[in-house]
Structure 1
Amino acid sequence: MDCLFCKMVEREIEPDIVYEDEHVLAFNDIDPKAPTHILIVPKKHIATLNDIEEADLALIGRLQFTAAKLAKQQGFADNGYRVVMNCNEDGGQSVYHIHMHLMGGRHFTWPAG
């Protein structure tokens, strides 16, 4: 498999890690869109949101939990932050391994781009 995030999980490529546990890896985005922009990925390869199965529900919940935990640790939870998951080409997905963008440290507007 030629998956960028799987290579990071396996340390074939070394990301700038901010958090890791048995199921999740979180690292700084190399092209940040906010003062803090962290990608949170499951260690299990799931290509798109469309590929999530019922057995993955706890893992998906762990991604959300990790985002909130990191927002608190980074100091912007009370002011607010944005969490985004993209799906497929029209949704803006560029790496086909589900991942959550945690962005904070600035004011966000709506609608998103």
Structure 2
Amino acid sequence: MDRNAGQCRPGGRAWHRIRRQGHDRPAGGTSGRIDVGGSYTHTSGVVSRSSASIVDADSMKRQLDLYTLWKRDARSRLRLSVSDLLQQDVRERRTFEGNAPLLRATTYRVRATWRLVWEHSL
């Protein structure tokens, strides 16, 4: 198993794990290999003040991406991937402080994205 460290973001951490499965000769006699991997990212909620009267707050975010890759031969690959598997909504708040305080809150709905791709080099 190979471990590749991901890029750390302020207030969060990320890591990636890639595992090679021992399928060098699948049934049918065709050579091939299956790789499985993914990444998990956690970013803490952040509160910041951009001026004396404006305060911004972003919610915590967790994201899980996974993939599997079947290498049929040196030139052909089939990749199945899913991103944002946790489907955690992201919330942003902006507060304007003053004589008449205002609050603007926005929620972004996140949905998982599935992708199946056949790759072939010429």
Report the TM-score range of the alignment, normalised by the length of the smaller protein. under 0.3
Q: Which has the higher strand share?
A: 2
Using the size of structure 2 for normalisation, the TM-score is 0.26
Using the size of structure 1 for normalisation, the TM-score is 0.27
The higher-RCO structure (CA 8 Å, 6+ apart) is 1
